[in-house]
Structure 1
Amino acid sequence: MVYGDDARLRQILGNLMTNAITHTPSGATVTLRLRRERGDLAVVEVADTGPGLSPEQAERVFERFYRADVARTRRTDGATGAGLGLAIVAALVAAHRGSVEVVETPGGGATFRVRLPLSSAVDDPLRRA
């Protein structure tokens, strides 16, 4: 179990999934995976088979107000995001003592990987009582 703010943890997952779905072409795949790493970390991965990110985009994708190429979006209404979703993800993950990264998916696309400490790895004040 991950110890943290339920609403903010859901927001992390929601932002990552929304971002992947928005920037993945119709017919491509978005995959959500959860696994345990080294016994004390929960790892959540959101991977897509879309166009992926250039190295420059990958380096900047967690910056506030940064938007990668608007042509990557599937939105047909012309609306685009404000470039805050992934910056919010990074801030919320850091607040939960975790880390987030983006890596190239083999065969194309991108994988956003979040690592969060499991409750046994966190100093839980309720357990000391």
Structure 2
Amino acid sequence: MEQILLNLIENALKFSDKGEIEVGVDRDDEKKYFYVKDSGAGVPQKYLPRLGERFFRVDPSRSRELGGTGLGLAIVKHIVRAHGWEMEIESEEGKGTVVKIFY
């Protein structure tokens, strides 16, 4: 769980204009989850299904400036699946992204 949170927080800080993030724990009707929410630029809907693919970057030129290899979410996805958990990503351009890990 530590590696998941470190990767998600690092991504949130990297892609948030103001550097503001929220980390929390909540539950829906059936499952508990923890989440990391940022106030960044968000991800276009057409790219959401690709998040978590190894080496995928929404904007490769910007990612080079900020560093990273495109492996952070892929590692998170792998750990989540290994535990039998689920990952959900919601994003809205101009408003930010939230990643939820259901356990």
Change (3 A) 1:104 1:64: same
Q: Which runs of 5+ in 2 are unaligned?
A: none
TM-score by length of structure 1 reads 0.70
Q: Aligned-residue CA RMSD in angstroms?
A: 2.2
Which residue of the other structure, out of 22, 25, 32, is the alignment partner of 2:23? Answer: 32
| Cα pair 2:22 2:37 within 8 Å, conserved | yes
What secondary structure sits across from 2:22 in the alignment? strand
Matches within 5 A, 1:108-119: 108-116=95-103
Which residue of the other structure, out of 24, 35, 54, is the alignment partner of 1:45? Answer: 35
Which 4+ runs in 1 deviate beyond 4 A? 70-73
CA distance in 1, matches of 2:54, 2:35: 21
Structure-1 residue corresponding to 2:6: 14
**How far 1:72 moved relative to its partner?**
5.5
Would you say how many aligned residue pairs link Structure 1 and Structure 2? 103
| Cα pair 2:44 2:93 within 8 Å, conserved | no
Q: Which runs of 5+ in 1 are unaligned?
A: 1-8, 117-129
